[in-house]
């Protein structure tokens, strides 16, 4: 199945956008740091904090404008679920809590990585919050959230180029052997036939 990265280089009207929101929060504080008004896809989200209970919440809207919320994302919540050092493209990368009686430490959490297929499409308005829960043993802590997104900068141009790509029916020009799931021997003859077919249609 084609994902967003398979066709983006062929499309127009989009760009990358990178945000970092960093705040020092008091225990129990929740702070709205951004209202994202563009349309696009969240590719990667990463969290760095000096408290196991420092986290973030994102409330976004899907295509039917109904809201969905990604919440309770802290190093401790992910650690308790066992998602610790499982995949370098996701989950907890660093969990260093020197004193078990204190929630202070160094924590790095990679929440999603679009290269692994976990991209999240969204439409306006997306609300981003940072917080430090009351479970923290510290009076205050620093929470930093970084987000890499693909944003649509020109909707008309984007849709026009998308229609052009879909009209090419490129998937029909690929040798069926290359699309077969499971173990499949692909002969050099089949590859050459596909190359000749594509060359003939240029």
In tens digits, the chain (202 residues) has pLDDT values of 455 667 888 899 999 999 999 999 999 999 999 999 999 988 888 899 999 999 999 998 877 878 888 888 999 988 887 765 455 545 557 889 999 999 999 999 887 766 555 677 888 889 999 999 999 999 999 999 999 999 999 999 999 998 888 787 655 555 666 555 555 444 444 445 545 555 555 4
55 vs 47: CA distance, rounded Å: 7
The confidence score (pLDDT) of residue 124 equals: 86
99 vs 201: CA distance, rounded Å: 66
Give the list of residues 6+ apart from residue 64 with CB closer than 8 angstroms, or none: none
Strands 54-61 and 40-51 come out as unpaired
Which sign does the torsion angle of CA 123, 125, 5, 181 carry?
negative
The confidence score (pLDDT) of residue 176 equals: 61
The confidence score (pLDDT) of residue 1 equals: 45
Nearest-CA neighbor of 141 among 78, 86, 60, 76?
Answer: 76
Token digits of residue 52: 């196991």
The confidence score (pLDDT) of residue 81 equals: 78
Token digits of residue 58: 């994102």
The confidence score (pLDDT) of residue 47 equals: 93
The confidence score (pLDDT) of residue 182 equals: 54
Residue whose tokens read 């479970």? 135
- Please tell me the CATH code under which domain 4-153 is placed: 2.60.120.1330
Q: Tell me the domain boundaries of the chain.
A: 4-153, 157-200
The confidence score (pLDDT) of residue 8 equals: 84
The confidence score (pLDDT) of residue 175 equals: 60
98 vs 106: CA distance, rounded Å: 9
């Amino acid at each position: 199945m084609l994902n967003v990265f398979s066709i983006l280089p062929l499309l127009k009207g989009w760009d990358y956008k990178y945000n970092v929101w960093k705040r020092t929060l008091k225990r129990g504080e929740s702070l709205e740091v951004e209202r994202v008004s563009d349309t696009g896809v969240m590719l990667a989200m990463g969290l760095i904090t000096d408290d196991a209970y420092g986290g973030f919440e994102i409330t976004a809207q899907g295509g039917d404008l109904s809201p969905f919320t990604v919440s309770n994302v802290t190093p401790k919540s992910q650690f308790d679920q066992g998602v610790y050092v499982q995949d370098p493209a996701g989950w907890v990368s660093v969990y260093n809590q020197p004193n078990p009686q204190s929630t202070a430490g160094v924590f790095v959490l990679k929440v999603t990585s679009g290269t692994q297929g976990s991209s999240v499409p969204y439409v306006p308005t997306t609300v981003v919050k940072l917080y430090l829960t009351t479970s923290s043993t510290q009076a205050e802590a620093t929470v930093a959230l970084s987000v890499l997104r693909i944003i649509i900068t020109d909707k008309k141009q984007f849709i026009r180029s998308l229609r052009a790509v879909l009209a090419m029916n490129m998937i029909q020009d690929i040798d069926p052997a290359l699309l077969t799931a499971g173990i499949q021997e692909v002969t050099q003859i089949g590859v050459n036939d596909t190359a000749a077919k594509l060359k003939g249609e240029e």
